[in-house]
């Protein structure tokens, strides 16, 4: 975020891995105080230590975004130590692969609890603080699956569409409080989520097949993603699509929904073919 993040306090959910870890590192490099809040407290502490060892300012906090009391505790700790929260990165998320006819109720609940309820809880816990401060910036991580329909990850798509809609509505409401709201829509980023992630649900593909499935979509390194996304965040953009070429899919769906459905059908066909050869 250029020099704008210097001395600001950033609270990053899911900060121990992938995109969240890249945000934490980049923001600390810019001089921000970062709170790495994650269910995986060990990796969160290790990352905080690495940042502190190289001259940055980082803290780790244990957080399960599915629990509002857990959010309240972690946010209160950040506030007690750092005095304010300038950025909330509502980034924690899980993947949910597989077709709906293979889901259990628990599969639905898991993805809704983390990807949607977790974002709502983050907003409930931090937005009032930002209102009191007279400013702040909420950055919700959705996905390209929040802009276009993605078969094979229908429940994930549902939660990410909800996050996009929620962010657009909140952005307008929050203007009068001086609070900015942006929503990130990453394309495919090379992180553990691509092969199921630590807590997510995988489809029927092996780990190797899952990585092969995403490869034609040119996964971006999380560090590169973070740098581009933070630049757009610093400009206060509403909907941030990175890599930018993914906007073509978004525009195509609006321009020709039929053509887009055809392209999505081919992608589903490819996934099913790969699944039929999985061990």
- For position 40 contacting ligand NAI by CB under 6 A, the verdict is yes
Torsion of CA 108, 183, 162, 158, to 10 degrees: -50
Stretch that binds ligand NAI, among 48-56, 182-190, 203-211, 231-239 (CB under 6 A): 182-190
Spatial separation of the C-alpha atoms in residues 260 and 165, rounded to whole Å = 21
Cβ closest to ligand NAI, residue 66 vs residue 201: 66
- Going 77 to 79 to 81 to 85, the CA torsion angle's sign is positive
Question: Considering the rule CB under 6 A, would residue 117 count as an interface residue with ligand NAI?
Answer: no
Phi, psi for 180 (deg, rounded to 5) = -95, 150
- C-alpha to C-alpha distance for 106 and 110, rounded to whole angstroms: 6
Give catalytic status of residue 68 as yes or no: no
Closest CB to ligand NAI among residues 63, 129 = 63
Query: CB of 66: closest distance to ligand NAI in angstroms?
Result: 5
Asked if 150 touches ligand NAI (CB under 6 A), the answer is no
Among 1, 11, 17, 152, binds ligand NAI (CB under 6 A): 17
Instruction: Identify which of residues 6 and 248 has a Cβ nearer to ligand NAI in the complex.
Output: 248
Q: Is 86 in the site for ligand NAI (CB under 6 A)?
A: no
Question: What is the footprint of ligand NAI within residues 192-211 (CB under 6 A)?
Answer: 192-194, 197-199
Q: Find the binder of ligand NAI among 24, 63, 179, 232 (CB under 6 A).
A: 63
CB of 176 to ligand NAI, least distance (A): 28
List, as one string, the DSSP characters of 150-196.
Answer: -TT-HHHHHHHHHHHHHHHHHHHHHGGGTEEEEEEEE--B-SGGGGT
CA distance 146 to 127: 22
Give the whole-angstrom CA distance, residue 84 versus residue 243.
31
| Minimum CB distance to ligand NAI, residue 131 (Å) | 24
Q: Which of 5, 26, 30, 93 binds ligand NAI (CB under 6 A)?
A: 93
What distances in angstroms separate CA 123 from CA 5, 167, 199, 224, one per listed residue?
A: 20, 10, 22, 27
- Residue in the block written with tokens 């290790």: 46
What is the smallest separation between the CB atom of 134 and ligand NAI, expressed in angstroms? Answer: 28
Number of residues that bind ligand NAI (CB under 6 A): 31
Catalytic-role residue among 87, 103, 156, 199: 156
Site for ligand NAI in 206-265 (CB under 6 A): none
| Cα maximum dimension of the chain | 56
Q: Counting beta carbons within 10 angstroms of the beta carbon of residue 108, is it exposed (0 to 12), middle (13 to 18) or buried (19 or more)?
A: middle
Query: Which one among 85, 92, 230, 242 touches ligand NAI, defined by CB under 6 A?
Result: 92
**How far is Cα 215 from Cα 21, in angstroms, rounded to an integer?**
22
Q: 37, 40, 23, 25: which is closest to 198 by C-alpha?
A: 40
Does 148 contact ligand NAI by CB under 6 A?
no
For position 143 contacting ligand NAI by CB under 6 A, the verdict is: yes
Report the catalytic residues: 156
Residues that bind ligand NAI (CB under 6 A): 13-14, 16-20, 38-40, 63-66, 91-94, 114, 141, 143, 186, 188-189, 191-194, 197-199
């Amino acid at each position: 975020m250029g020099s704008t993040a210097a001395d600001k306090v950033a609270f990053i959910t899911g900060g121990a891995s992938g995109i969240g870890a890249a945000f934490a590192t980049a923001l600390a490099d810019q001089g921000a105080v970062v709170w790495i809040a994650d269910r995986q407290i060990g990796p969160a502490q290790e990352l905080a230590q690495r940042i502190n060892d190289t001259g940055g300012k980082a803290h780790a906090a244990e957080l399960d975004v599915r629990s509002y009391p857990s959010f309240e505790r972690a946010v209160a700790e950040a506030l007690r130590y750092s005095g304010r929260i300038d950025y909330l990165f509502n980034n924690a998320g899980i993947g949910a692969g597989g077709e709906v006819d293979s889901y259990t109720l628990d599969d639905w609940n898991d993805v809704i609890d983390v990807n949607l309820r977790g974002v709502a809880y983050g907003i409930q816990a931090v937005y009032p603080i930002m209102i009191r401060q007279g400013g702040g910036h909420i950055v919700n991580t959705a996905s390209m699956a929040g802009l276009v329909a993605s078969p094979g990850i229908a429940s994930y798509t549902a939660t990410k569409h909800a996050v996009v809609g929620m962010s657009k509505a909140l952005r307008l409401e929050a203007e009068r409080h001086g609070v900015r709201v942006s929503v990130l829509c990453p394309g495919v980023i090379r992180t553990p989520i691509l092969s199921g992630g630590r807590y997510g649900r995988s489809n029927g593909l092996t780990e190797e097949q899952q990585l092969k499935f995403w490869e034609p979509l040119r996964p971006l390194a999380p560090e590169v993603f973070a740098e581009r996304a933070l630049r757009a965040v610093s400009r206060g953009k509403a909907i941030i699509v990175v890599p930018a070429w993914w906007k073509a899919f978004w525009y195509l769906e609006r321009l020709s929904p039929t053509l887009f459905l055809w392209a999505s059908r081919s992608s589903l066909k490819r996934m099913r073919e790969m699944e039929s050869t999985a061990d």
